[in-house]
A and B are shown apart, each in its own frame.
Chain A
Amino acid sequence: MNFFTIKRVLILGVIVAAVICLLPTFTNTWPHKKINLGLDLQGGMHLVLEVQSEEAVKTELDRTISQLKLDLKNEKIQHMGIDKAPDHKIIAQISGADNRSAVEKLLSDEYAGLEIPSVKNIDGGIIFTLRLPDKEADSIKKMATEQALETIRNRIDEFGVSEPDIRIQSGNRILLQLPGISDPERAKGLIGKTAQLTFQLVDEQGDVNAALAGKPPVGDEILYQVKQNADTVHQSRTPFLIKKHVELDGSHLTNARVEFDQFQQPQVGIEFSRKGARIFERITGANINKRLAIVLDNNVYSAPNIQDRISGGKAVITGHFTLEEATDLAIALRAGSLPAPVKIIEERTVGPTLGRDSVRMGLTSMLIGGAMVVLFMAIYYKGAGLVADIALVVNILLIGGGLAIFGATLTLPGIAGIILTIGMAVDANVIIFERIREELLAGRSPKAAVNAGYDRATLTIIDANVTTLIAAAVLFQFGTGQIKGFAITLALGIVASLFTALILCKSIHDLILANKQSDTLSI
């Protein structure tokens, strides 16, 4: 009889394919697809950020309000206040009832994107209620998330993390997987920095202390300069009365890099675009002997006195930085600001030592558990047990090959899944072998018993495995990263064990029986 039947060639083909897929993990050969270790095994940081996208909508409303004020001023229409209201509304109190048609024309010409839910006449004026449509607000939020993703990706790239995985998880949530990161706290600081840079004038007429006690004058806000003292525990906060109007912002930046002052203190030098440089020149020219505050994320970094018109479009940010802080700030400014602040809502960081320990312990329990199962099968079922043991080894090869070729990630629960599969894979063998023993007892010849055993057990085995496969599929659908890893190895293991138990083992048994004319079977 020819050894190479089609069936045997196919079986060998599957095994060889699995080995080829598995090899690159150890030797870096073709097809160059390795089993990825999960963050829990190689160490690294898993972060979920929530973009406070509502803030982006508020910023947009603020921008609309200041534009509207400007337009009204140009049209010489007086107003008694234009403010934000809940539910994305803007309440504009216009003086003089006779301005109604002029305002309506302005709104329909320039602000067609806004809804006007109500217009009310009051004593001495009209109240226009404007509203940003939900569709518009949603698209601003979506844009904010996408832009934040892009910005964070740029920052991470500059920070230097190999193979980061950054994507939108759902809605306004961004998922970051940063493997092998050595300084997670620094990375978090860099990612979370909004880096909104603005240049605003200091209100030289106002009195800071009066403003602190009561309310700041209209159009002003109180911002602080925070200085970390040398002991690193205490900080001093100096209040500044700052004009709300933003003269220039970070969007006109073209470059930012670390420089050193004459005392070798790190500072961040920035360069403006041509337009930015022109604006900067105009502001400095018009405000000589006033202070211009450099505000980053609502903190005043410095408020130098303008001595002269500054052309050339260059400025420096000073603020007693460490070199690390200056580097990160430069990266953040170069990569652009976040359109809205982000909040870390989930973090899972595993240090490299724990990852190594987990791999070691996972492999140890796999080897020992596997060895015990192999031993048990060989003792309990003798020859047939050895067949099952071969199948078990092939099974693990298949799981490994499958993990590699699908580019799946092996996590600690994933290793648990493989260990579990080792115990479950021989179940099919047990069911078949017990059936064969029954058939032998009933007086059948070994060949007939083997055939009957495999035939009758097949359906039961498939059914029993389908239910576990359903559980694995549901886990894959609903699970988070680590649990997904478990679901994948479990599902791969089940499919592999169906192949090894029903096809490979049957084939080996056929081979044994074909070459042997005796009427005994080692089982």
Chain B
Amino acid sequence: MQFIKPGTHIDFMGMRKIAFIFSLILILASIVSLIIHNGLNYGIDFAGGTLVQVKFPQKVDVSDIRKGLGGIGLKDVSVQGFGEQEEHEYLIRTSSDADALGNQLSDSVSKGLKGATSLEPDIRRVEMVGPQVGNDLKEKALLAVFYSLLLITIYISGRFEQKWTIAGITAGALMAAVYFLSVFNLPMPFLIAAALVVSLVLFWYLQLQYAIGAIVALIHDVIITVGVFSLLNLDFSLQIIAALLTIIGYSLNDTIIVFDRIRENIKGNSNHSLVLDLFNRSINETLSRTILTSFTTLIVLVALFLLGGEIIHNFAFAMIIGIVVGTYSSIFIATPIVLMAHRKR
């Protein structure tokens, strides 16, 4: 069985302008959405607050739940259904933490709900994150994104170009730049952006074309995945950070496969006029595996998305978006950028 027959020839490079415009629209939409929504919709991991997941033995009115919570003095709450409707499960969220609510929150929630609905609620989960912890987790998450980008950048520059000395220099320059900037006490997102700009400039200057292609594709994947979460106003939690880092690591796989083939084909082929054709050929030759590897991963992720339960839902969703976008970007973003850099030489 074969989905992609040998000898398939699709002019991917010819489509690069359309692809760039398409990606640009997606990225702009992501940024606009982030601005309109005033940043991400942080879950309680980052924003702090309290979350109670409660299950009733039979159908209840959301207004009754609210009434019950109002009765115990919980005013600023959001109540939403959770999971399948026939499960009668609800998520109660409030921005207050234990300081305001006292230590016996779930007992009083249980009593309040019982009074209003005359049903015995099952308190399935309670999560409370104080503001200090929320800020710490935010800091940690950003550090994690930063370090994984840094390490992967160094790995890529060394690996794709087989120039480990240059990779070392890049690493040193990056660290120096970040250290210099951190003296000014800039917030973490600025540091991450600055580190990325510095590495892009360095790669351009050092003519590390493959590394530029890979990094641009990575930034592209992360921005769009975050953008989708912002557009749909989904909770941005620690799990999503885990998904993003996994996407960063995994979406490089496809890029590496294509780049390896380009290098293999370029060896002993000094005729630069045929370079566009060579890039197209490399993508077509590896197209089958690029698609299949993502496909098998998507199969399990869809199973996880549909059957894994509400708690893991958003994680699976983020991974699905990231892998689809990552596969697209390794063909339509990473490779054309290498081509453009290659022609500059």
B121-161 contact mask (Cβ, 8 Å, vs A): 1 or 0: 01111111110110001001101100110011001100100
CB distance from B226 to the nearest CB of A (A): 16
Of the candidates A365, A381, A477, the one whose C-beta lies within 8 Å of that of B307 is A365
Residues of A within 8 A of B165 (CB): none
B126:A347 contact, CB within 8 angstroms = yes
Residues of B within 8 A of A426 (CB): 296
A332-359 contact mask (Cβ, 8 Å, vs B): 1 or 0: 0000000000011111111101100110
State in angstroms the CA–CA spacing of A468 and B242 once bound together.
12
Q: Which residue of B has the minimal Cβ distance to A360?
A: B309
Q: Which residue of B has the minimal Cβ distance to A431?
A: B289
A372 contacts the other chain (Cβ, under 8 Å)? yes
Residues of B within 8 A of A434 (CB): 286, 288-289, 292
Please judge, given known A-B contacts A354-B124, A358-B309, whether A376 and B253 are in contact too, CB under 8 Å: no
Residues of A within 8 A of B239 (CB): 413, 482-483
A358:B300 contact, CB within 8 angstroms = no
State in angstroms the CA–CA spacing of A457 and B260 once bound together.
10
Q: Which residue of A has the minimal Cβ distance to B45?
A: A480
Q: Which residue of A has the minimal Cβ distance to B286?
A: A434
A344:B128 contact, CB within 8 angstroms = yes
Of the candidates A40, A354, A369, A474, the one whose C-beta lies within 8 Å of that of B151 is A474
Residues of A within 8 A of B100 (CB): none
Residues of A within 8 A of B285 (CB): 438
State in angstroms the CA–CA spacing of A424 and B304 once bound together.
14
B53 contacts the other chain (Cβ, under 8 Å)? yes
Segment 469-511 of A: residues with Cβ below 8 Å from B: 469-472, 474-475, 477-480, 482-483, 486-487, 490
Task: Return the 10 tightest CB-CB contacts between A and B, nearest first.
Answer: A471-B249, A369-B303, A423-B297, A468-B249, A369-B300, A345-B130, A478-B144, A423-B300, A464-B253, A361-B309
B→A interface (CB under 8 Å): 1-2, 6, 53, 55, 97-99, 103-104, 106-107, 122-130, 132-133, 137, 140-141, 143-144, 147-148, 151-152, 155-156, 159, 238-239, 241-242, 245-246, 248-250, 252-253, 256-257, 260, 285-286, 288-289, 292-293, 295-304, 306-309, 311-312, 315-316, 319
Contacts A345-B129, A348-B127, A353-B124 given; 16 further ones with Cβ under 8 A?
A40-B311, A192-B103, A348-B128, A353-B122, A354-B125, A369-B300, A419-B303, A420-B246, A431-B293, A463-B256, A464-B252, A465-B253, A468-B252, A471-B248, A474-B147, A478-B143
A→B interface (CB under 8 Å): 40, 48, 50, 184-185, 188-189, 192, 343-351, 353-354, 357-358, 361-362, 364-366, 368-370, 372-373, 376-377, 379-382, 412-413, 416, 419-420, 422-424, 426-427, 430-431, 434, 437-438, 441, 459-460, 463-472, 474-475, 477-480, 482-483, 486-487, 490
| 27 A-B residue pairs with CB within 8 Å | A48-B133, A50-B130, A344-B98, A345-B97, A346-B128, A347-B126, A349-B106, A349-B127, A351-B122, A361-B307, A362-B308, A419-B300, A419-B304, A434-B286, A460-B257, A463-B159, A467-B248, A468-B252, A468-B253, A474-B147, A474-B151, A475-B144, A475-B148, A475-B242, A478-B141, A478-B147, A482-B238
